[in-house]
Structure 1
């Protein structure tokens, strides 16, 4: 009987060691997978902080071309919005109230805001008219990206996105998405 007991005792320890090796192997593989997935985060834009913002010529409401370089010499926040975007509607509502993006650097001290719409003039005007105090938005320049340059040159396709540039058109900050203060 002691021979049978000894064999079962050794077998149980071998089985325990096998399970431990398998578990360590699984944990190692999960760590490797996690590292690879972390490295695969999609790029939200082609721009880097500290880089000079490439110039775009977009249309105003009259159809005339306006260069983004026209704001050189002024700290500017380019608010990139889309008419069908719910958070964009909230962001524009915040701008109507005289506010800014809650995550803007400088404790919310507002640089000059310029709205870049990825939609056409008609849909963007409908968006503005749906806002209370839409008259307040009249004080903000609105440019329309009818040729898709914001996506092609700046690499930005998600809205709302806010690009903050300094007086030399150097990208200081990129803010993706929008939330009101206190909400995430």
Structure 2
């Protein structure tokens, strides 16, 4: 049996993003269990339906092709103003349009994120869950991934630190089992 292909979408454009660092650490935890590909959203233009079907829509067409090639999607996102970052919402909108041609439908997903604050990214994650219901993405409910960013969460080599390693390894195992159970056929 071939390995699952998992797309990783980081909801930040910043290369220094703590969520990008978390995503890279999560991939290291499970790299022997699945093939991971980071799906870049930083280059996507602002979605405008006037450009559907024109050459201007090519970045979204290419992005949608990458989404469709995945067995599952891991969203690792910050929270901006108690909601989903604009760059991530734009990617989701562009990946779901034009109507009837959504790349998201039926692809199992999980959401996790980190921030220095206690609630981590809980509001953004809840908003994503609402969006994913409409997008028809079976989304893992438990365990939830509200990770507070602290010194030692990621070590100097980019690995998950010892205080969070057990929880996050279980999170990734449950996510991969979720994808296996719910993948499109």
Q: TM-score, normalised by structure 1?
A: 0.28
Q: Which of 1 and 2 has higher RCO (CA within 8 Å, sep 6+)? A: 1
